[in-house]
Structure 1
Amino acid sequence: EISEDLFLKHLASDSRALLEMMKVSSLRIRRDLDAMAKDMQTLSNFTHDMRNCLVPLGIAEVLLTDVMNILKGTQQFHKERHGKDKVQKGFDTMLAVRNNLVVMIDQSLACVKKTKTEYVKAEADVLPLIDETVEEISCHKMLRGKSINVKVEGKPRKGIFNYLDIKRVLQNLLINAGYVTRKEGNIDIFIKNLNDSIQISVRDYGCGIPEDVKSILLKENYTSKPDGNGFGLMSCKEIIEEYHQGQINFESEVGKGTTFYFTIAQSSN
C-alpha cells in the first residue's frame, strides 16, 4: 500500500507509472473476482448436493407411514398401540424439518442463479409459531436445561410474515440467548402489539454486550462463540429489514443481560 504523500511525490505526474499501477490493480481485482466466482460455484454445488442428500428421507417417510398404519391398527376392531402419538409427533417433526430444508436450499440456489422468485408472506398468528419454535429448539445444546418463558402483553394480533423465516430469526436469537444463560437459567420471549406492527423480544439475563461490540453488532459477522461464524444475526437482519420491512435492534447492560427485539407488520383484518 502506497501512502498519499509518496503517491503525489513520485507517481501522480508519471503517466506510465500510473498505467502500470492500474494494470496491476486490474489484475489483482480480476484474480479476486475469479476466486469469488469459484467459491460461489463450490457453494452452489454443495447446496445442490445437500438437496440430493434429503432424498433418502422419502424412503424413511414411506417406511414410517407403514409403521404408523400398523400402530393405528390394520383392522377396524384393532386398538391403537401404546406410544403411537409419540411416534406420530416424531414423524411429523421429521417431515417438517425435511420440508423446511428443501425450501431453504431452493431459496439459496435461486439466489445464486439470480432467479427471481416470489417471497411468500401470509397472515398468521404469532403465538403458535413461537410455541412451536420453542418446543423444537429446546433440545439444542445451548438451551437444554434452561427455561424459555413466553409472555404476552394483551391479545396478540395476527401478523403478515413468512412462517419459516421468522422461525429462523427466533431460532438464532434463542440460541444466542442460550449461549450466555447459565444452566437452569431463564430466557423470556415477549409479544407486544404496537400501532401497526407486532414486536417480538428475546431477553437473556447473561453477561451483557460490551460497549466496543455494540457498534459493530448487526453490521458485521461478529461472534463470541468459539464455533460461531457471525452469520446468525446478519441473517436475522436481512430477513426482518429486507424481506419484512421491519426493524431489529437490541438493548444491553453489562452484567444484567440483553434484549433483542424485532417487528413484523400487523394484519389489517
Structure 2
Amino acid sequence: MAAADGDSIANLLRKNKRLSRELSRMETVFNAIRSAIVVCDCAGEIIFANSYAGDLLGIGAADVSIFKLLPGMDAAVSDAARGSYALREFEISYPERKMLSAQIIPFDFGDGGTFALILNDVTREKLSTEERIESEKLSSLLNLASGVAHEIGNPLNSINIHLQLAMRRLKKLAEKLPGDGLVEGVRESVEICSSEVSRLDSIIENFLKALRPMRPDMADCDPIKPLAETLKTLDAELENLGVSVAVNVDAPLPTVYADANLLKQLYFNILHNAMEAMDAGGDITVRALADDDFVKISFADTGCGIDEDGMSKLFQPYYTTKTDGHGLGMTIIQAIVRAHGGKIDVESGPDRGTTVTVSFPRAHRRIRTLRQNAP
C-alpha cells in the first residue's frame, strides 16, 4: 500500500511539473503576442493580463478594475454577456492617449461569467485616416475662407468706418437740433446698419476660427464658471424667446484642464443652437456630473430635434438647416472639444429634442498621471 501511495505521489509530482512547464510555455506565448490579452470577471477584476496589456494600459502591481482603465467597458461587457461576441472601440488617455479596438468574448466556467478581451492599438490607422480627411477638408475650407475674407472683409471695414463717421455727425446734429425726430430716425437706421456689419464680421470670424489650429491657453478651470458667464450674456435673449434654463450640478464638481474662453465659446454655440431649435419657447436642462475620468456636461432642449439624415451630417462644415446659418457651429464645437482631449455625444430625433454631452478629462487625473511617471 505504501509503495502504491508513493507511486501515486510521484505520478502527481510529474504531472504537476508537466503542467507547470505547459503553463510557463503558454504564458511565454501570450506575452510574445503583440495584442493586449486581458481576462476579467463580470465585476471587471483582472484575472490575467499579458505583458503587452500591462504596457498598453499601464497596469501595475496594484489591483485595478478594467472598468477604471477603459471607461464604457462595463456597458460593453454587459452587452457581450447577452450574446456571444462584441466589438468596441475605446479611447484612453493613460499612460498615453490611444485608440483601441476591442474584441470581447464571454466564457461561462460556472463562476458567474468570465470575459476575454483582445485589444489592439489602432491609433496610427485612425489618425492617418482622420488626418487625411481633415487635411482635405481644411484645404478646401482655407481656399474658400481666404476668398470670403478678402472679398468681404475689406469693403466691410470701409463701411464700418463711414458708419462711425455718420454717427459722429448725427451726434453733433442732435446737439444742434435736440428732439428732432428725423435725426433720431436716421440715427436708429445707422445703428441697425452698424449691427448688421458686426454680424457679417462675425460670420467671417467664424469661418476663420473653423480653420485655424486651436492653441488653447490651458489651466485648471472650474467648468461651471464660464457656463454661468455665458448664461448671463444670453439672459435677455433667452427671456425674449421664452426659453427657460435649469442647471443641475453635482457638487463639488472637480476642475478640468481647459481654456476658459474657449469653454465660453463652446457653451455659447451649444446654447444658441438649442435656442434656435425652439421658435415658440421651451426648456433647456443643463446637467453637470463627474466620474473618475471625466467631467460631463449635457445640454438637453425641447426643440424640434434632428432627423437621421441631419445626424449623419451634423459635423460636416457648411451643413445647416437654417436659412441664415453658416453651417460651422458644430464644426467649431467639435474642434474645441478635441483641442481639450474631450469627447462629444449627440442624441436627437424629430420632435423629441436634442441632447449634446461634452466630456472633459479631469484636471487631477492628468496630475496623478504625471506623478506616477515621475522618476
TM-score, normalised via structure 2 length: 0.42
Pick the structure with greater CA Rg.
Answer: 2
CA positional deviation for 1:158:
0.8
Change over 3 Å in CA distance of 1:44–1:189 after alignment to 2: farther
Indicate the residue corresponding to 2:219 in structure 1.
122
Indicate the residue corresponding to 1:257 in structure 2.
353
Indicate the residue corresponding to 2:335 in structure 1.
238
Task: Output the CA distance in 1 between the equivalents of 2:215 and 2:304.
Answer: 41
1:122-170: CA deviations, max 9, x gaps? 1111122111111102333796321111111342111111111111111
Change over 3 Å in CA distance of 1:245–1:183 after alignment to 2: same
Task: Report the RMSD for the aligned CA atoms in angstroms.
Answer: 3.8
Indicate the residue corresponding to 1:146 in structure 2.
243
Indicate the residue corresponding to 2:117 in structure 1.
none
Secondary structure in 2 matching 1:177: helix
In the alignment, is residue 221 of structure 1 matched against residue 327 of structure 2?
Answer: no
1:91-133: CA deviations, max 9, x gaps? xxxxxxxxxx9xx97xx59x77xxx995311111112211111
Contact 1:142 1:175 in 2 (8 A): no
Contact 2:256 2:295 in 1 (8 A): yes
Task: Output the CA distance in 2 between the equivalents of 1:37 and 1:168.
Answer: 25
Task: Output the CA distance in 2 between the equivalents of 1:51 and 1:119.
Answer: 28
Secondary structure in 2 matching 1:173: helix
1:215-261: CA deviations, max 9, x gaps? 111234321211101110000011111x1111112011322211011
CA positional deviation for 1:175:
0.8
In the alignment, is residue 40 of structure 1 matched against residue 146 of structure 2?
Answer: yes
Indicate the residue corresponding to 2:228 in structure 1.
131
In the alignment, is residue 156 of structure 1 matched against residue 253 of structure 2?
Answer: yes
1:61-118: CA deviations, max 9, x gaps? xxxxxxxxxxxxxxxxxxxxxxxxxxxxxxxxxxxxxxxx9xx97xx59x77xxx995
Task: Output the CA distance in 1 between the equivalents of 2:259 and 2:317.
Answer: 24
Task: Output the CA distance in 2 between the equivalents of 1:177 and 1:38.
Answer: 28
Change over 3 Å in CA distance of 1:163–1:214 after alignment to 2: same
Contact 1:245 1:264 in 2 (8 A): yes
Contact 2:266 2:336 in 1 (8 A): yes
What amino acid sits opposite 1:244 in the alignment? Answer: H
TM-score, normalised via structure 1 length: 0.57
Indicate the residue corresponding to 1:193 in structure 2.
290
Change over 3 Å in CA distance of 1:240–1:50 after alignment to 2: farther
Task: Output the CA distance in 1 between the equivalents of 2:305 and 2:143.
Answer: 39
Contact 1:181 1:187 in 2 (8 A): no
- Which among 260, 263, 267 is matched to residue 166 of structure 1? 263
Task: Output the CA distance in 1 between the equivalents of 2:311 and 2:334.
Answer: 15
Change over 3 Å in CA distance of 1:185–1:117 after alignment to 2: closer
CA positional deviation for 1:195:
2.2
Change over 3 Å in CA distance of 1:219–1:194 after alignment to 2: farther
Indicate the residue corresponding to 1:82 in structure 2.
none
Q: Which runs of 5+ in 2 are unaligned?
A: 1-138, 162-200, 368-375
Aligned residues: 186
Contact 2:246 2:284 in 1 (8 A): yes
Task: Output the CA distance in 2 between the equivalents of 1:145 and 1:51.
Answer: 35
Secondary structure in 1 matching 2:300: strand
Contact 1:206 1:256 in 2 (8 A): yes
What amino acid sits opposite 2:312 in the alignment? Answer: S
Contact 1:249 1:261 in 2 (8 A): yes
Change over 3 Å in CA distance of 1:184–1:264 after alignment to 2: same
Task: Output the CA distance in 1 between the equivalents of 2:279 and 2:317.
Answer: 26
What amino acid sits opposite 2:276 in the alignment? Answer: Y
**Which structure: greater strand fraction?**
2
Change over 3 Å in CA distance of 1:49–1:149 after alignment to 2: farther
Secondary structure in 1 matching 2:295: strand
Contact 1:248 1:261 in 2 (8 A): yes
Task: Output the CA distance in 1 between the equivalents of 2:301 and 2:316.
Answer: 21
Change over 3 Å in CA distance of 1:41–1:198 after alignment to 2: same
The share of aligned pairs that are identical, in percent, is 24
Change over 3 Å in CA distance of 1:229–1:124 after alignment to 2: same
Q: Which runs of 5+ in 1 are unaligned?
A: 1-32, 55-100
Change over 3 Å in CA distance of 1:45–1:227 after alignment to 2: closer
Contact 2:221 2:259 in 1 (8 A): no
